[in-house]
Amino acid sequence: MLDAFSRAVVSADASTSVVGDINALKAFVASGNRRLDAVNAIASNASCMVSDAVAGMICENQGLIQAGGNCYPNRRMAACLRDAEIVLRYVTYALLAGDASVLDDRCLNGLKETYAALGVPTTSTIRAVQIMKAQAVAHINDTNTEANAGKKFVQMGSAKGDCSALTSEAASYFDRVISALS
Ligand SMILES: CCC1=C(C)/C(=C/C2=NC(=C\c3[nH]c(/C=C4\NC(=O)[C@H](C)[C@H]4CC)c(C)c3CCC(=O)O)/C(CCC(=O)O)=C2C)NC1=O
């Protein structure tokens, strides 16, 4: 598993050069508190995000919870909720580390093949991941709305700043999950 720092060392070592891109690491350090806020925004809302994403996925495709569907019976429903939580957890690890390797190596490696073998439908999994991506972007930027969240509406209330780079980085980890399963 690599983070932004060990990645810089490994890349430099691979080309037998001194560590090159110090500016990128400076930016990583400078945005450190912002990054922690972003990770906290996802981690604090994780169980709500997972249940909402899986509920939304099922709402759009109710065959999933009928006989023959991959969220039926409850054993599979539980496995599905667990998997969505695993994916979200590894996305937060990658966001904290500023590097996708932990997500790639410990979560995504072989997942497509596992799902194919078990008959877990790819399009539905991707739909749940897309919903979690939208939620994560909203929570990082505190742009979630009462209209969408209902009684569970919570905002982080972090200091407002430019989170565009962190937002697109977080989004890229969800996209990575989607392309690994596609
Ligand atoms: C740490 C990394 C890690 C990952 C990623 C992981 C995934 C994972 N998901 C599995 C099953 C599963 N995954 C799902 C998921 C779903 N079904 C749906 O219809 C939805 C589309 C979707 C939820 C969004 C289901 C239903 C099963 C059980 C399938 C079965 O046993 O028939 C299995 C098979 C073993 C088991 O049931 O526990 C693995 C290994 N395990 C790990 O240790």
CA-to-CA dists, residue 42 to 14, 37, 55, 160, 175, angstroms: 34, 9, 18, 16, 16
Q: pLDDT below 70 — which residues of the chain?
A: none
For residues 178 and 130, the answer to whether their CB atoms sit within 8 Å is yes
Report which secondary-structure segment, H or E, holds 49: helix 46-60
131 Cβ below 6 A of ligand 1? no
Distance of CA 167 from the midpoint of ligand 1 (Å) = 27
Distance of CA 51 from the midpoint of ligand 1 (Å) = 15
For residues 154 and 46, the answer to whether their CB atoms sit within 8 Å is no
Domain(s) of CATH 1.10.490.20: residues in the chain? 32-181
140 Cβ below 6 A of ligand 1? no
Q: Which numbered atom of ligand 1 lies nearest the CA of 124?
A: 21
Distance of CA 170 from the midpoint of ligand 1 (Å) = 23
The answer to whether domain 32-181 has CATH 1.10.490.20 is yes
- Work out the angle at residue 14's Cα, subtended by the Cα atoms of residues 12 and 18, and round it to the nearest 5 degrees: 25
Position 55, amino acid: A
pLDDT at 21: 83
pLDDT at 152: 87
111 Cβ below 6 A of ligand 1? yes
137 Cβ below 6 A of ligand 1? no
Taking only the tens place, the pLDDT of each residue in 147-164 is: 988 888 989 998 888 899
- Tell me which residue has its CA closest to atom 12 in ligand 1: 79
Distance of CA 81 from the midpoint of ligand 1 (Å) = 9
Q: Would the pTM of this model clear 0.75, i.e. be above it? A: yes
- Tell me which residue has its CA closest to atom 27 in ligand 1: 79
